[in-house]
Amino acid sequence: MGTYKIPRNTKGEGRILYIFSTKALIYTIVAALIGGLFYLIFDAIGLTSVGLIIVVLFGVIGFSIGTFKVPKIGSSKFFRDISGENIDDIIKRYIKFKSKKNKIYTLYTKEEE
């Protein structure tokens, strides 16, 4: 008798706590740690609740950067070009572009009638 593989849905097995993919969990933790610095500052002032709100807000921002993709918006050429790409990939490309001090030159010529 031979062995056979039974196909199954393995898409959600890389998720932690069902909503967090590994990448989203890392982005959430890093952003919450950055928010934790603000928490320490506001805790020293005596505004602990404001500090906690900032930590949660930074965590949500980190989660959204790690999870969501740029939506397709038909009215804007910019969003049509990058629609469907992950937000973190776009941010990484922007940082890499700015760190190399690259410039994009375009040649504009007036069309004569």
Instruction: Kindly write down the DSSP assignment for every residue of the chain, as one continuous string.
Output: ----PPP---GGGGEETTTEEHHHHHHHHHHHHHHHHHHHHHHHHT-HHHHHHHHHHHHHHHHHHHH-B----TT-HHHHHHTTSBHHHHHHHHHHHHHTT--------PPP-
Task: Please tell me the distance from the alpha carbon of residue 52 to that of residue 25, in angstroms, as a whole number.
Answer: 19
Give Dmax over CA atoms of the chain in angstroms: 80
Reading the chain (113 residues) residue by residue, the pLDDT tens digits are: 677 777 766 565 555 666 777 788 888 888 989 888 888 888 888 888 888 898 889 988 888 888 877 777 767 666 666 677 778 888 888 788 777 777 666 666 666 55
Residue 105 pLDDT: 63
Residue 109 pLDDT: 67
